[in-house]
Amino acid sequence: MTVPPLFDHFDSEDEDQLPRDTASREAGREADAEHWDTRSRPSGMRAHAQAWLHVEPFYWTMRVVYVCLAAGAVFAVYINGVAEGWWHAWGEKPSVAATAPATQPTPAPTVSSEAAMSGGYQIGPDGVLVRPTQYAADTYTKPELPEEAKENTERGAEAAAEHYLALLVYAWNTGDTQPLADMSDSDSKFAHEVTQRISDLYGNGWVFNNSSAVEHVLKLEPAELAGAENTSDAVTVVLAINSSDGTICQNKNIYVHDQQYQSIFALVMTWNNDQWVVTQAGMEKTNE
């Protein structure tokens, strides 16, 4: 192995040897330097690397940690540069097209051209089937009180009872129970039950084609009221009627009851404040 010129004087056998002349020394140094660059440096670096690797385990571990920390620092700088936007194009500002978030057009809500249907009926926004226009509540006219029903006679009581039945049918077909309530005594249990049933039904449904017609007058006579001292202004009216419940809707359910049935409708009509008022009433089917 050739020794670099820096250590040339340690290999001389004669310490008193005269120095070379200046030209020879410079030429020798240039030659030795060239020889050092071509052969001595690789061998020295390899030896240095081997010495760096062959160390005690503790120091080897520490060196691995140092390498990992250095790599992590470089990676953190890169990530931070990307986040800040200065890493693009070696410090150039990114274009708007490159940094602006991509916007997606909001799809327009699809609207079905066909209305939701159930059983041939359209479903309304409240979840209740829409009532057919031809059977709308306003197609039913409120019955008018006949002139005979304005008289304080048995015939007047009979006419008033028939009018009350017409108001009952009107209430079922329209949901308007006020006329029926106006002609009923405030203590009438029958009136309270019927108006409540109708109100509950129209809360989530409707009725049309309900009908009732008087077939016979079974009884028409002064009423015998328990505990009453004067019964001259009270008349009992019993009617045989033929009825049909019609078409009933409850939410999304349809019930068609076109079949006719017979019932007995009994009323106690009381003359009060120049008009007939229903104080008691009851209805019962006869052909079930």
Q: Evaluate whether residue 194 is within a structural domain.
A: yes
Q: Evaluate whether residue 101 is within a structural domain.
A: no
Same domain for 132 and 56: no
Predicted pLDDT of residue 117: 72
- Sort residue 143 into left (φ over 0), alpha (ψ -120 to 50) or beta: beta
User: Residue 270's domain is classified under what CATH number?
Assistant: 3.10.450.50
Same domain for 265 and 153: yes
pLDDT at 168 over 60: yes
The per-residue pLDDT for range 57-108, each reduced to its tens digit, is: 555 556 665 555 555 655 555 555 545 554 444 344 444 434 444 445 544 4
**Contact (CB, 8 A) for 235 and 220:** yes
Give the mean model confidence (pLDDT) for residues 205-226: 92
pLDDT confidence of 120, banded at 50, 70, 90? confident
The per-residue pLDDT for range 5-27, each reduced to its tens digit, is: 443 443 444 444 434 444 455 55
**Contact (CB, 8 A) for 98 and 89:** no
Q: Which among 137, 214, 147, 192 has a CA at the least distance from the CA of 170?
A: 137
Q: What angle do CA 252, 242, 180 make, to 5 degrees?
A: 70
**Contact (CB, 8 A) for 5 and 35:** no
Q: Evaluate whether residue 88 is within a structural domain.
A: no
Q: Evaluate whether residue 97 is within a structural domain.
A: no
- Helices 154-174/189-202 angle, 10° precision: 20
Identity (one letter) of the amino acid at 73?
A
The per-residue pLDDT for range 260-270, each reduced to its tens digit, is: 999 999 999 99
Q: Evaluate whether residue 114 is within a structural domain.
A: no
Range of the domain at 53: 5-13+20-81
- How many whole angstroms separate alpha carbon 255 and alpha carbon 251? 11
Residue 141, both tokens = 């006219």
pLDDT at 128 over 80: yes
Q: Evaluate whether residue 99 is within a structural domain.
A: no
Same domain for 248 and 154: yes
Task: Answer with the residue of higher pLDDT: 1 or 62.
Answer: 62
Q: Evaluate whether residue 210 is within a structural domain.
A: yes
Whether pTM exceeds 0.75: no
Residue 60, both tokens = 């080897």
Same domain for 200 and 145: yes
pLDDT at 125 over 80: yes
In terms of C-beta density within 10 A (0-12 exposed, 13-18 middle, 19 or more buried), how is residue 172 classed?
buried
Q: Which among 163, 160, 194 has a CA at the least distance from the CA of 177?
A: 194
Task: Answer with the residue of higher pLDDT: 128 or 2.
Answer: 128
Same domain for 229 and 277: yes
- Per the structure, the count of domains in the chain is 2
